[in-house]
Amino acid sequence: MSDLPYERTIIGMSALATMEGAYQATLDYVRDRKAFGKPIAEFQNTKFKLAEIATQIKVGRAFIDRCVEDLVAGKLDTATASMAKLWGSETQGRVVDECLQLFGGYGFMSEYMVARMYADSRVQRIYGGTNEIMKEVISRAL
Give Cα separations from 125 to 26, 79, 81, 87, 139 (angstroms): 23, 16, 14, 10, 17
Residues ≥6 apart with Cβ < 8 Å to 109:
115
Q: Which of 7, 52, 90, 132 is catalytic?
A: 7
Residue 136 catalytic?
no
Q: Which residues are catalytic?
A: 7
